[in-house]
Structure 1
Amino acid sequence: MSLQKNCIAILEDDPLAAEVLKSAFQSAGMEYQYFSNLTDLKAVLPAKNFSLLMLDWQLPDGTADEVIHLVRDEMQWQVPIIVQSIYEDEDKVVNALSLGADEYLIKPLRQSETVARAQAMIRRAGIDVQQQLWVKAGDLEVDTLNQKVFMNGEQLEMTRIQIKLIAYLLQHIDVPLSREHLLRNVWDKKSLPETRTVDAHINQLRKRLNLDSHSVLKIDSVHGYGYCCRLQQEA
């Protein structure tokens, strides 16, 4: 999903706090759309390309973790997320960040600092999107935009799932990924296969890419868990 420049979603049920945020972003020339509850924001998210989500943690109809789950796990959207809250205990901060938030700010917010953090996150997100269009590992290159894979400059014939799978693995080098995680993030959510499907596709990838003990790229099995993509130094 592409980013819409400077379009921020503000989720805040306190009218005064909302006005502070809207005034700050408007003064900085940043567009925004305001939501006073979770339901309204969740209803428009699938059709909106926001460049940043500014989420109050505690809302009348729930907490911001519902939005984070929707964005990160269901939509697989890497839009920057800033959580703002009156709660400053460490457990709540760690929980929000662990769920997928990028920043946790304590109310009352400082306007100039909030705008600066938002602008920095939007800039970084734009750079990350461009970097993810092409993923490289040794002689292997994946064009994620056009769904093509190249080895030594020559295009390989691969299925859509194979391309998505190798791209995702390369984007998470040295990160152990469970079979369930790969199913959620690579396969169609509406028709998730069984976890053994992951094993079959990993074996097909290894053969298609001619991966062996001498290859720079390795897809290692993690016993009882899943797989980890690694790069080893050439001898």
Structure 2
Amino acid sequence: MKIAVLDKDRSQADLICQVLTGAGHACQAFDSGKEMLGMLKKDSCDLLILDWQVADLSGVEVLRRAKEKLPSHAPIMFVTGNSGEDDIVAGVGAGADDYMIKPLRRGELLARVQALLRRAYPSQNGAEQLQFGPYVFETRPGRLLHDGSVIDVTHKEFYLALLFFRNIGRPLSRAYIHEAVWIRETAVPSRTMDTHVSRVRNKLQLRPENGFRLVPVYSYGYRLEKMGAAA
């Protein structure tokens, strides 16, 4: 699913996108209401997450104008730093489908987003397939296949592998991998991440002769590389 995130703090918007990308969604971050609305003139989204207090537009104005550009069933969730009733009543009254109060908890954020998407798109609750060469990821059951054969992976191994394949050729930092895969865990030892990466490499046989190579990036993280046709 395609999700747009608006937050006056761009680093917060980027963090939300990391969480949602790790769950298999495409995500775009904004810190300007006008910029996000400009994007919606050209493209659509399946769900919006809106900060209620951005610099250039009021929360009500952003929500109202966004709803004019989205399909009627596309859900909108807003976030607010104010736990009082005024913002919440205004947001729900303007047509928001759900809300969260900052600071956001990663696990709850993902659960609420998934619930909104299930209600809005019931016909897509089956297995979504993402294919990368001989590898097929079925995101709903969390099943991974290679040349039609199921690979026995854990939940974290599945999403770690999917994260690498969705970012082929891009170096991923340890911090990024941690935020995307170990969403609810604040402290993950380096050896734990290294062990999971090693298991993904071995189970998926990510070797040059099979078309892909998963390599460490010194003092940074990891990168999945797609080999040339000759390899």
The TM-score by the shorter chain falls in which range? Answer: 0.5 to 0.7
Measured in 2, the distance between the counterparts of 1:207 and 1:177 equals 19
Q: Is the 8 A contact 1:177 1:227 kept in 2?
A: yes
Q: Deviations over 1:56-104 (max 9, x none)?
A: xxxxxxxxxx97x949999469x9xxxxxxxxxxxxxxxxxxxxxxxxx
Looking at structure 2, the residues matched to 234 and 18 of structure 1 have their Cα atoms a distance apart, in angstroms, of: 50
Q: How does 1:47-66 map to 2 (within 5 A)?
A: none
Q: In the alignment, is residue 171 of structure 1 matched against residue 127 of structure 2?
A: no
Residue 18 and residue 156 in structure 1: after superposition, are their counterparts in 2 closer, same or farther (change >3 A)?
Answer: closer
Q: Percent identity?
A: 19
Q: Given that residues 73 and 185 in structure 1 are in contact (C-alpha distance below 8 angstroms), is that contact kept between their aligned partners in structure 2?
A: no
Counterpart of 1:160 in structure 2: which amino acid?
H
Q: Specify the alignment match of 1:39 in structure 2.
A: 82
Say whether 1:219 aligns with 2:214.
Answer: yes
Alpha-carbon distance between aligned partners in 2 of 1:212 and 1:23, rounded to the nearest angstrom: 50
TM-score under structure 1 normalisation? 0.52
TM-score for the superposition, normalised by structure 2: 0.53
Distance of aligned partners of 1:176 and 1:75 in 2 relative to their CA distance in 1, 3 Å threshold? farther
Gaps of 5+ in 2: 4-44, 114-120
Q: 1:180 aligns with which of 175, 178, 184?
A: 175
Letter in 2 for 1:200: T
In the superposition, relative to structure 1, how do residues 179 and 6 fare at CA in structure 2: closer, same or farther (>3 Å)? closer
Per-residue CA deviations over 1:90-128 (Å, capped at 9, x if unaligned) read xxxxxxxxxxxxxxxxxxxxxxxxxxxxxxxxxxxx9xx
Larger relative contact order (CA 8 Å, sep ≥ 6): 2
1:190 is paired with a residue whose SS is coil
Are 1:11 and 2:49 an aligned pair?
A: no
Root-mean-square deviation (Å): 4.9
In structure 2, relative to structure 1, the CA distance for the partners of 1:169 and 1:38 (3 Å cut) is same
Structure 1 residues 26 and 140, CA gap change in structure 2 (3 angstroms): closer
Structure 1 residue 20: Cα displacement? 4.9
How far the C-alpha of 1:133 sits from its partner, in A, is: 3.7
Q: Aligned residue for 1:200?
A: 195
C-alpha separation in 1, matches of 2:153 and 2:77:
43
Residue 158 of structure 1: aligned partner: 153
Q: Is the 8 A contact 1:7 1:30 kept in 2?
A: no
Query: Relative to 1, partners in 2 of residues 1:20 and 1:144: Cα closer, same or farther, differing over 3 Å?
Result: closer
Q: What stretches of structure 1 move > 6 A for 4+ residues in a row?
A: 1-8, 26-29, 31-36, 71-74
* Letter aligned with residue 39 of structure 1: N
**Matched residues in 1 for 2:191 and 2:77: separation?**
44
Tell which structure's C-alpha radius of gyration is larger.
1
Asked whether the 8 Å contact 2:2–2:47 carries over to 1, the reply is no
Give unpaired runs (5+ residues) of structure 1. 54-65, 80-125
CA distance change for structure 1 residues 26 and 175 in 2, over 3 Å: closer, same or farther?
Answer: closer
Task: Write out per-residue CA displacement over residues 120-167 of structure 1, whole angstroms, 9 at most, x where no aligned residue.
Answer: xxxxxx9xx99x943322211111221000010111111111111101
State the alpha-carbon separation in 2 of the partners of residues 12 and 184 from structure 1: 25
Say whether the 8 Å CA contact 1:13–1:37 is kept in structure 2. Answer: no
Q: Distance in 2 between matches of 1:183 and 1:30?
A: 35
CA distance in structure 2 between the partners assigned to 1:162 and 1:205 by the alignment: 6
